[in-house]
Chain A
Amino acid sequence: EVQLLESGGGLVQPGGSLRLSCAASAFTFSSYAMTWVRQAPGKGLEWVSAVSGTGGSTYYADSVKGRFSISRDNSKNTLYLQMNSLRAEDTAVYYCAKCLGGLGWAYFDYWGQGTLVTVSS
């Protein structure tokens, strides 16, 4: 069964950094694009970033561009999100999700359980 397990969330001060990880299992990780989607408390879903299967192509929402960096290690079946210059408005549950195929097939068929990032002083 496909599993995605996020880690790395927590409380961080404004301006701080955090790195999220997402460990994947039970599918050929390198064959699928991956994405991060976040959900602020009581709010809807917001796409954050996506990466191709090889890791060679990356995309970001304008709200995080220049501050967040997505990457993947296909030898470890792990997806990452490096978050710098964090702001209060970045507070959310962050989900990693698997795409149905490549980035041109960007529907998200498996999701992790989410990890909470709280940005507060």
Chain B
Amino acid sequence: EIVLTQSPATLSLSPGERATLSCRASQSVSSYLAWYQQKPGQAPRLLIYDASTRATGTPARFSGSGSGTDFTLTINSLEPEDFAVYYCQQRSNWPPFTFGPGTKVDVK
């Protein structure tokens, strides 16, 4: 089973700042990695898939990069609605499809 780790666990930033979130896989997942955003009381929302492809409706301030075992989600100039929990998920070696533990982006 591929284990995903995310860092940091919590990221405290102010609106307008850049957020850099990391996801590391226990073995290569090629580019088969997605990022989701989840706000309290809501279902997750797909932001990025195949490491760098923005899903329909994802704002351009969200970008993904990486391949193999190391991936990054960057949010340029945080908007108030971006404060949420972010999860990575792999589809390279399944089952299972695994998620990372999440990174919470909160207001500094």
Note whether A and B form a binding pair: yes
Contact A44 B96 (CB under 8 A): no
Query: By DSSP majority rule, is chain B's interface helix, strand, loop, or mixed?
Result: loop
Contact B97 A47 (CB under 8 A): yes
Interface residues of chain A, those whose CB is within 8 Å of chain B, are 35, 37, 44-47, 50, 59-62, 95, 100, 103-109, 111-114
Which B residues touch A113, using CB under 8 A? 43
Which B residues touch A111, using CB under 8 A? 43-45
Any A CB within 8 A of the CB of B83? no
A-B pairs, 3 with minimum CB distance: A111-B43, A107-B49, A59-B95
Any A CB within 8 A of the CB of B64? no
Contact B99 A47 (CB under 8 A): yes
Contact B46 A45 (CB under 8 A): no
Any A CB within 8 A of the CB of B71? no
With CB as the reference atom, state the residue of chain B lying closest to A111: B43
7 contacts between A and B (CB under 8 A): A44-B101, A44-B102, A47-B89, A61-B95, A62-B96, A105-B91, A106-B91
